Amino acid sequence: MPKGWQHIDDDQCRLFQASVELIGRRWSSAILLAVAQGARRFSEIHGSVPGLSDRMLAQRLRELSAAEIITRDVVPSTPVQVTYRLTARGRELMAALQPLVRWGLRWQGEDEEAEAERDAG
């Protein structure tokens, strides 16, 4: 077992699992990325995530808001404006996901290189 892993107890394991399941739900990571890249309004987020339905976007925004990863700001105007942004917790989460993104790019890139070598040979 790698050094450090033996210190993870059952409660920490459950917290980890809950965190991974929250961000691993279909569409959650794409929504977070859209918001992190500057999408603020429902329509902007929706337009940034191809294939995402209005209903599912609304549901995921509620879940991410309840988890305090994003915040929903209501601007009392006519018409009322609703915007979304990452909370400090959400910004920290996005920073924590960067190594996972790099891991995916590395292994995806390696698969593409191997495939190109097979095709060339």
Where in the sequence is the domain holding 26, given as residue range(s)?
5-120
**In sequence order, what are the residues at sequence separation of 6 or more whose Cβ sits closer than 8 angstroms to the Cβ of residue 40?**
83, 84, 85
Assign residue 85 the CATH number of its domain: 1.10.10.10
- How many domains, the chain? 1
Q: Write phi, then psi, for 95 (nearest 5 degrees).
A: -65, -40
User: Higher confidence at residue 89 or residue 9?
Assistant: 89
User: Higher confidence at residue 115 or residue 77?
Assistant: 77
51-65 pLDDT, tens digit each: 999 999 999 999 999
| Whole-number pLDDT of residue 120 | 64
Chain-wide mean pLDDT for the chain? 88
pTM, rounded to two decimals: 0.78
